[in-house]
Amino acid sequence: MLYPLKFEPILKDKIWGGTKLKSLFNKAAETDKLGESWELSGYENDESVVTNGFLAGNTLPELIEIYMGELIGDSIFDEYGLSFPLLFKLIDANENLSIQVHPGDEVAAERHNSYGKTEMWYVVDAEPGAVLIIGFSEDCSRDAYLDALDEGLVEDLLQKVPVKKGDVFFIPAGLVHAIGKGVVVAEIQQSSDITYRIYDYKRVDDQGNERELHTEQALDVINFEASKEPKTVYTPLMNEVTPLVSCNYFTTNMLRFNKSIARQYAKIDSFVSYMCLDGNFVIDFGGEKTIVNKGDTILIPASIDELSLIPDAEVTLLEVYVDNA
């Protein structure tokens, strides 16, 4: 019988990374430039490995091959096969990330034989004065954009949004964006690693080389319209489900609870993932207990219809699934 699955994080050094994933979530990295923790991934060469129960040591794609729709949902398996459709990350921006844009499914398939990259961010932590770049502040023409790029002034065209813990942003393919210095986010995205970097502050690596820019590729996918309401507005509810983002690729809710709650998933034909961002709790599934700590990401197989979440104290988690309704 399948059960709630825990995975070994895949830790990635980045030129802009820091130490907050260690201090906030106890990620076991020796580096002081830990930029990303891939919490749940079926991406090629970065497949998550199970750490609990009798399936420990198996990769996520191996489990999909064995359990198919029982693990991820019948309709999801019919559409994606052995590919897990989503990628879950924790990101620490100790320095500004590059300004970038992602292609949608059509362009990504044509150019890279990949899925596109629509994503969302939940701000886990933000230093005072920290900002995110989310789209253009006003409608922009292609020519004006290229002129600003040539003059090193592209930042002047973009919208800088002050952020605090708990802010949520939906980042569809085509939206220019960047995570600013001092921000830690939980990111839920399509399973893709295609990024078009359009500006990188002229930073150099240890060898003195600037990172590659993708100016021409980005031009065909950028949405030049103003991003007028970039922040997702929501009212957090205690011991109830708070909807955050719903799109063709994923649905994300927030669960904030300080007493036991029951979750029922019989009506959705999908796996469910929990990203625990604050607090610790226990999953009770048929009398079997799974301990979940702050920073853990858990995969609930599609075959599990009902379970209970029992908190130690107050817990905040993101609940994610694919809604095929």
HSE toward the beta carbon, residue 23, CA cutoff 13 A: 10
- Predicted pLDDT at 210: 84
HSE toward the beta carbon, residue 132, CA cutoff 13 A: 27
Which CATH number goes with the domain that contains 262? Answer: 2.60.120.10
- Predicted pLDDT at 204: 76
- Classify residue 245: in a domain, yes or no: yes
d(CA 159, CA 122): 18
**How crowded is residue 242: how many other Cβ atoms within 10 Å of its Cβ?**
17
168 & 266 share domain:
no
Q: Which residues of 156-182 are buried (b: 16+ CB within 10 A; e: fewer)?
A: ebbbebebeebbbbbbbbbbbbbbbeb
Per-residue pLDDT of the chain in tens (325 residues, 90 and over written 9):
999 999 999 999 999 999 999 999 999 988 899 999 999 999 999 999 999 999 999 999 999 999 999 999 999 999 999 999 999 999 999 999 999 999 999 999 999 999 999 999 999 999 999 999 999 999 999 999 999 999 989 999 999 999 999 999 999 999 999 999 999 999 999 999 999 999 998 887 777 788 889 999 999 999 999 998 899 999 999 999 999 999 999 999 999 999 999 999 999 999 999 999 999 999 999 899 999 999 999 999 999 999 999 999 999 999 999 997 5
Q: Give the distance, in angstroms, between the CA of residue 31 and the centroid of all CA atoms in the same chain.
A: 22
125 & 161 share domain:
yes
- Classify residue 313: in a domain, yes or no: yes
Find all residues with CB under 8 Å of 113, minimum gap 6, and list them.
none
DSSP structure string for 3-72: --EEB--EEEEEEEEESHHHHHH------S-EEEEEEE-EETTEE-BB-SSTTTT-BHHHHHHHHTHHHH
Residue-range definition of the domain harbouring residue 301: 240-321
- Classify residue 186: in a domain, yes or no: yes
d(CA 15, CA 207): 12
Q: Which amino acid is at 282?
A: V
Strand partners, 126: 183
Backbone angles phi, psi at 133, to 5 degrees: -95, 120
79 & 156 share domain:
yes
- Catalytic positions, please? 197
Contact 99, 199 (CB under 8 A): yes
- Classify residue 228: in a domain, yes or no: no
**Residue of 78, 84, 73 lying closest to 267 (CA atoms):** 73
20 & 96 share domain:
yes
Q: Give the distance, in angstroms, between the CA of residue 290 and the centroid of all CA atoms in the same chain.
A: 23
Q: How many domains does the chain have?
A: 2
129 & 16 share domain:
yes
- Classify residue 233: in a domain, yes or no: no
27 & 173 share domain:
yes
270 & 172 share domain:
no
- Predicted pLDDT at 325: 58
- Classify residue 191: in a domain, yes or no: yes
Of 184, 219, 254, which residue sits at a domain end?
219
23 & 87 share domain:
yes
17 & 162 share domain:
yes
**Residue of 242, 245, 193, 191 lying closest to 72 (CA atoms):** 191
d(CA 248, CA 96): 29
d(CA 15, CA 70): 40
Contact 168, 300 (CB under 8 A): no
Contact 273, 5 (CB under 8 A): no
109 & 151 share domain:
yes
H-helix or E-strand spanning residue 165: none
174 & 260 share domain:
no
